[in-house]
Amino acid sequence: MKRTVLICVALLCANTIFSQEIFKRTLKLMGSRFEITVVANDSTEANNYIDMAVGEITRIEKLISSWDPASQTSEINRNASIKPIKVDEELYNLIGRAIEISKLTEGAFDVSFASMDKIWKFDGSMTVMPSKEAIKESVAKVGYKNIILDPENFTVFLKLEGMKIGFGAIGKGYAADKAKKLLMEKGVSAGIINASGDMNTWGRQPDGEFWKVAITNPMDKNKAFALLPLKDNAVVTSGNYEKYVTFNGVRYTHIIDPRTGYPATGIISATVFAPKAEIADALATSIFVMGKDVGIDFVNQLPKIECIVIDEKGEIFTSKNIEIETLKK
C-alpha cells in the first residue's frame, strides 16, 4: 500500500512540473533593456513574480544610481573631499566588493572610473586622438585607493575633489543577482534575469533541460558561434563591435583603461561565466583592459570562473576548462 501511495505522489509531482510554462516580460529598467523570464503555473502567477523582480531592480537603481540626485551614491559624490557619508549597509558592502575587485584586477576595473573625463568620442565625431596630456589629465581623479571606508559607521569618503564612484560596470549584474535571489526565495523554481546581456539563471526549463545562452559572433552579430548550457550560473559578454574608433590602423574600443586613460585594444569580445552576474560583469570589462593573454591567465587562477575571448582577427581563445573544439562544431 505504501508503495502505491509513493508512486501516485511521484506521478503527481511530475505532472505538476511539466504543467508549468515559461513566461517572459521585456521592459526598460536602469536605462537598459531587461528581459525577465520565470517558470510558473499560469500567467497570473508569473506576472506577480515578474512584478516582484521589477520592484527589486527599481529599488536597487534608486540606491546606486549616480544620475539620481536623491541617491546615496550621488550624496557620496557631492561630498568628495568634504566629508564621509553614512550609507545603507547594502550599498556599503557593494562598494566594498567593488574595491576588492579593483584590487584583484590591479585597477583594470575601478569603481571610481566615473571620475574620468569623457575625452574619447565613439559616435563618429572624433578625427584625431586626444593629446597625451589630455589623456593623462582625464584619469587624474580615478583611483580606488582614495576611497575610504569606515566599517564601524558605514561611511564612505572620497579623498579627492571632483572624485566620483559609479556602478556602470557592475550595477546591472548586481541587480540581476538580487532579482534572482528574491524570486528563488519566493519559490520560483527556474528563470532568467537578462539585464541587457548580463544574464543570471537558475533551475531548469519545464522539459528538464538547462537554460542555454547563445554567444554572439562579433564578426557577424546576427549569428551565434556557440550555444552553451547555463547551470545555475551567470554569463556576461562585453563587446566593442559597434563602439570603437580607428587611428593609424589601431582599433580603440569604448572600454577605457582607468589606469591610463587609453581605450583597450586587441579584443572585440569577452564573455565571462561566473556564479554571480556582478563578478562576471566586472571581469568581462577587466579582461578587455588586461588584454587576451593576461586576462585569460588571470581567469585561470580564479575558482568557478571561465571566459571566452575573441581577438580583433576573429580568433577564439578560452580559459582552461572550456573545450575550444566544442565551440567550433
Among 247-251, 269-273, 277-281, which is the least confidently predicted range? 247-251
* 251-257-261-266 Cα dihedral, nearest 10 degrees: -20
What the block records as the C-alpha cell of 269 is 569580445
Residue 246 pLDDT level (bands cut at 50, 70, 90): confident
Asked if 280 and 274 touch (Cβ cutoff 8 Å), the reply is yes
Report the alpha-carbon angle 81-83-86, nearest 5.
130
Q: What span, in angstroms and rounded, lies between the C-alpha atoms of 269 and 154? A: 37
| pLDDT exceeds cutoff 70 at 180 | yes
pLDDT for the residue numbered 251: 78
| pLDDT exceeds cutoff 80 at 312 | yes
Average per-residue pLDDT in the chain? 88
pLDDT for the residue numbered 244: 78
Among 9-23, 192-206, 212-226, the range with the most confident prediction by mean pLDDT is: 192-206
Cα distances from 4 to residues 16, 75, 284, in angstroms, run: 19, 64, 53
Residue 249 pLDDT level (bands cut at 50, 70, 90): confident
What number is the average pLDDT over the span 233-246? 82
| pLDDT exceeds cutoff 80 at 173 | yes
pLDDT for the residue numbered 12: 36
| pLDDT exceeds cutoff 70 at 40 | yes
Q: What span, in angstroms and rounded, lies between the C-alpha atoms of 144 and 51? A: 36
What number is the average pLDDT over the span 271-275? 95
Residue 241 pLDDT level (bands cut at 50, 70, 90): low
Q: Which is more confidently placed, 247 or 96?
A: 96
